[in-house]
Chain A
């Protein structure tokens, strides 16, 4: 059995539920924490015995949500200790933690650092009041600026800032200003997400938002290219469709996922992958807890991928990254051969400036990233 390379821990609680978010989330009430933490710990222990091979050094551990920063520092410490007791966390492992601006006080950030967290991901979204209001965030621009300052002064060298663009009724200029702020603050890592209407979210049910998105959605393409050009000039590497970093600061958790590695996800709705088997957990808090009370794996869905599905995932994930798809490696790994027709498409993409292609490596340019889904469906095996 192959090594487990990364772990993910889902903390579903949020101060408020964002109208654009499709993750497994739950309104935050401190009374909910204890039972959830107990269930989470059971799952962590359950999986550890199930996977003997997991006793290999883990290279990335990620606390995501929801809003992990709704947790008290003691709870964070408790979880970290529990994980360390069941899995071997490598010396140089990246231990990342998502923090919302309203929680990003100097004291909290320092506390995380001494607990062993070595990478912070700040859910800033924007420094523009209109954008934050349109996104229904419960922090404002002043709080955001303060959080960013606190983070820069906290001693955390490795951190990420999340920005969201394309919010309804907001000017394009607001996003350009956000980028200028980032150029000044120089976070080591930046995630830029264009707003998507995801099924089941409040935005997706809101007619006004839907209409606005239908009308202004197309301008996201130019915003995407603008950001890519701007940040690249600032020394950032546009290493994945939505991610930028300064040299050497790629998010290691994400790299494991994107390279088809093995990872275990704990908590409501968390996703896991191991050697061609993918599963995810119950999203509903109570159901999740009840399953674990009975010491059952809280799995809601599981699939064994066929060779072809794995090969298609390989294409899909590689094309989202600047490193791209290494054809000989893909052929070896999945046992399929790259067809003439696929090369023809690659060559045409190269001619149109949408990809770098030399017959063995296919890597999309930012123009190509914009069409990654379409290109993937063209290249996928049927």
Chain B
């Protein structure tokens, strides 16, 4: 019997705030992975930003040594998963590295949409799913009701569900016992050619790209020349190791084991999540299944507010992309905003994270153009082009039709908010596909939407209209034909490319009016009148005027105090420099953001 019988690879599936990180901390503590002193709250979330937002962006892993009640020592590998829909693909790869998963559900709140989505992913990977009811110490906890909900909604047997309080540690040891007893040990052939799944990668300033792998077949040792099967590049293994959660180097990783690897890999795109590692000399016949290249869903222009910060932004993006294989970008120029980058993101959260990191790490202020989805534009000559920037839309006369990406969304909410949600969904061109009562208080709605309608603020809207109780998740379901047009904004007759949007034709006049009135509120009075218009082609659909400034003069310029006055005007002048100049019109940064907040 090989040693992989003693290994259990598992991950934790939970809705945000249902206690995943706390449970992970308790597991580490209980198995002695860290001393009390080393325990920092939520050790798995290493990035500062992750900790602030309370979410996990990059997957982390930790190897726990546990002596079970049967007297045997087990190696339990906890493989963490990112907790957001933007990172669904990364989640699926992390799950693919496991044989089991803990389904942690808050015993007071019940199953949420995001939990469901990840459970479905786990079921696709054929994982053994162990329900865990957390927060049973809360007065509002109702384990019986939530167990019944798991059975009816998820379709899992919840009769053996462990009742725990990750906060107090109650029941946590029982979780470890269930992992040992119920999660199957990895199967695999140590003699077969190496096959290892890459489920995470990041950039380390000293070692180059670090890769997290799960060995499925064979063994990898220091000094081996390995090859990434999809990317095609070969490297010599420099270090191997595990996180316990402290970094511990090892000489080899074999069947069923999980660990990190470095091999002087300089570019993160050479080590993509989902790729299969094999030996260069004795390669596996085929890669592991399930690899898919990164598929960006949201696109936006990033520009420095001050043109002089361009080089700074460029090097900042290069640095970020080293660590973020999902981020890609290319040079873009806008008449209104100058030079910047068109960036591709997995989703809106991913976009916000990138933006925040850039602003924080580079100390520059950014102008983000309205995020857009990718459109499939079918031309009259039979060609189809993908358009990720409204300004690159071919001329209307050449277009046969435009198709846009759709999603299938699941919303779980207390029943009293159903009416409000239906209205929001209808406004967002949602089509109801199903409604299921989970119990007498909670309901699950299924809708199909154009992705474009939800990338902006749908989730915020949903949260606020359900007092925070509603949850939402979605899957992509492909492109569908739509009746879409390009909406342009003109300031004093000049089109402002950075403000163009692609919108449904029947909504265009309304959106135009909204946009123009938003802009009017952001563009302050200036020396000359400013006319703001929205247009579809040459047809003006909305118009507003910012009347000219009436008075800006200080009465007094006597007593010979010229310095103070000049300084005051120099300050005013410097203030203008921070705004974007469109013709003679000064447009503040916020105006470009205004388009992001239509419909408020």
Shortest CB-to-CB span from A196 to chain B, Å, is: 6
Nearest A residue (CB) for B563: A278
Q: Please, which residues of chain A bring their CB within 8 A of the CB of B555?
A: 193-196, 241-242
Cβ A370 vs Cβ B562 within 8 A:
no
- Is B573 interfacial (CB-CB < 8 Å)? yes
Contact with A along B541-573 (1 / 0, CB 8 A): 000000011111111111111110110111011
With A220-B551, A373-B552 as contacts: A265 and B560 at CB distance below 8 Å? yes
**Which of B528, B548, B557, B565: most chain A CB closer than 10 A?**
B557
Cβ A320 vs Cβ B560 within 8 A:
no
- Is A61 interfacial (CB-CB < 8 Å)? no
In the assembled complex, the Cα of A163 lies from the Cα of B576 at a distance in Å of 34
In the assembled complex, the Cα of A135 lies from the Cα of B528 at a distance in Å of 34
Interface residues of B in 559-600 (CB under 8 A from A): 559-563, 565-566, 568-570, 572-573, 576-577, 584
In the assembled complex, the Cα of A218 lies from the Cα of B552 at a distance in Å of 10
In the assembled complex, the Cα of A2 lies from the Cα of B569 at a distance in Å of 27
Interface residues of A in 274-316 (CB under 8 A from B): 278, 280, 301, 303, 309, 312-313, 316
Q: Please, which residues of chain A bring their CB within 8 A of the CB of B568?
A: 373
Shortest CB-to-CB span from A293 to chain B, Å, is: 25
- Is A26 interfacial (CB-CB < 8 Å)? no
In the assembled complex, the Cα of A218 lies from the Cα of B584 at a distance in Å of 24
Q: Please, which residues of chain A bring their CB within 8 A of the CB of B576?
A: 377
Shortest CB-to-CB span from A246 to chain B, Å, is: 19
- Is A42 interfacial (CB-CB < 8 Å)? no
Cβ B566 vs Cβ A309 within 8 A:
yes
Nearest B residue (CB) for A222: B550
Cβ B556 vs Cβ A303 within 8 A:
no
CB < 8 Å neighbour of B573 from A242, A344, A382? A382
In the assembled complex, the Cα of A376 lies from the Cα of B553 at a distance in Å of 10
Q: Please, which residues of chain A bring their CB within 8 A of the CB of B561?
A: 271, 280
CB < 8 Å neighbour of B562 from A196, A313, A374? A313
Cβ B563 vs Cβ A242 within 8 A:
no
Nearest B residue (CB) for A376: B569
Contact with A along B515-557 (1 / 0, CB 8 A): 0000000000011100000000000000000001111111111
CB < 8 Å neighbour of A271 from B552, B563, B572? B563
Cβ B577 vs Cβ A382 within 8 A:
yes
Cβ B557 vs Cβ A371 within 8 A:
no
Cβ B570 vs Cβ A369 within 8 A:
no
Interface residues of B in 473-506 (CB under 8 A from A): none
Q: Please, which residues of chain B bring their CB within 8 A of the CB of A345?
A: 527, 584
Nearest B residue (CB) for A313: B566
CB < 8 Å neighbour of A221 from B527, B550, B573? B550
Nearest B residue (CB) for A218: B550
Cβ A374 vs Cβ B563 within 8 A:
no
CB < 8 Å neighbour of B551 from A218, A258, A380? A218
With A196-B555, A273-B560, A280-B561 as contacts: A374 and B527 at CB distance below 8 Å? yes
| Total cross-chain contacts (CB, 8 A) | 104
- Is A205 interfacial (CB-CB < 8 Å)? no
Shortest CB-to-CB span from B557 to chain A, Å, is: 6
Q: Please, which residues of chain B bring their CB within 8 A of the CB of A349?
A: 527
Contact with B along A60-102 (1 / 0, CB 8 A): 0000100000000000000000000000000000000000000
Interface residues of B in 234-269 (CB under 8 A from A): none
Cβ A374 vs Cβ B549 within 8 A:
yes
Q: Please, which residues of chain B bring their CB within 8 A of the CB of A195?
A: 555
Cβ A377 vs Cβ B572 within 8 A:
yes
**Which of B552, B553, B566, B570: most chain A CB closer than 10 A?**
B553
Interface residues of B in 6-25 (CB under 8 A from A): none
Nearest B residue (CB) for A221: B551
Shortest CB-to-CB span from A33 to chain B, Å, is: 21
Cβ B528 vs Cβ A241 within 8 A:
no
In the assembled complex, the Cα of A240 lies from the Cα of B566 at a distance in Å of 17
Cβ B566 vs Cβ A312 within 8 A:
yes
Interface residues of B in 300-345 (CB under 8 A from A): none
With A303-B563, A371-B551 as contacts: A377 and B556 at CB distance below 8 Å? no
Cβ A224 vs Cβ B556 within 8 A:
no
- Is A272 interfacial (CB-CB < 8 Å)? yes
Cβ A373 vs Cβ B558 within 8 A:
no
Cβ A373 vs Cβ B553 within 8 A:
yes
Cβ B558 vs Cβ A254 within 8 A:
yes
- Is A183 interfacial (CB-CB < 8 Å)? no
Cβ B527 vs Cβ A375 within 8 A:
yes
Cβ A271 vs Cβ B562 within 8 A:
yes
Shortest CB-to-CB span from B419 to chain A, Å, is: 43
Q: Please, which residues of chain A bring their CB within 8 A of the CB of B577?
A: 382
With A221-B550, A221-B551, A371-B527 as contacts: A377 and B573 at CB distance below 8 Å? yes
Cβ B554 vs Cβ A370 within 8 A:
no
Contact with B along A359-382 (1 / 0, CB 8 A): 000000000011111111110101
With A374-B549, A377-B569 as contacts: A320 and B557 at CB distance below 8 Å? yes
Q: Please, which residues of chain B bring their CB within 8 A of the CB of A175?
A: none
- Is A55 interfacial (CB-CB < 8 Å)? no
Shortest CB-to-CB span from B93 to chain A, Å, is: 52
Nearest B residue (CB) for A382: B573
In the assembled complex, the Cα of A381 lies from the Cα of B573 at a distance in Å of 9
With A374-B549, A377-B572 as contacts: A316 and B565 at CB distance below 8 Å? yes
- Is A181 interfacial (CB-CB < 8 Å)? no
CB < 8 Å neighbour of B556 from A193, A263, A344, A382? A193
- Is A23 interfacial (CB-CB < 8 Å)? yes
Q: Please, which residues of chain A bring their CB within 8 A of the CB of B584?
A: 344-345, 348
Cβ B556 vs Cβ A242 within 8 A:
yes
Q: Please, which residues of chain B bring their CB within 8 A of the CB of A371?
A: 527, 549, 551-553
Shortest CB-to-CB span from B526 to chain A, Å, is: 8
Nearest B residue (CB) for A258: B557
Q: Please, which residues of chain B bring their CB within 8 A of the CB of A224?
A: 551
Q: Please, which residues of chain B bring their CB within 8 A of the CB of A380?
A: 569-570, 573
In the assembled complex, the Cα of A382 lies from the Cα of B577 at a distance in Å of 9
**Which of A221, A272, A301: most chain B CB closer than 10 A?**
A221
Q: Please, which residues of chain A bring their CB within 8 A of the CB of B563?
A: 271, 278, 280, 301, 303
CB < 8 Å neighbour of B560 from A196, A270, A348, A376? A270
Q: Please, which residues of chain A bring their CB within 8 A of the CB of B569?
A: 312, 316, 373, 376-377, 380
14 A-B pairs with C-beta separation under 8 A? A194-B555, A240-B557, A241-B555, A242-B556, A254-B558, A258-B557, A301-B563, A317-B557, A370-B551, A370-B553, A372-B552, A374-B526, A376-B569, A380-B570
- 9 closest A-B pairs by beta carbon, nearest first, are A271-B560, A374-B552, A221-B551, A372-B553, A193-B555, A377-B573, A377-B572, A373-B552, A370-B551
Sample of 12 more A-B contacts, CB < 8 Å, known A193-B556, A221-B551, A270-B560: A195-B555, A218-B551, A221-B550, A312-B570, A313-B566, A352-B528, A373-B553, A373-B568, A374-B572, A375-B527, A377-B569, A380-B573
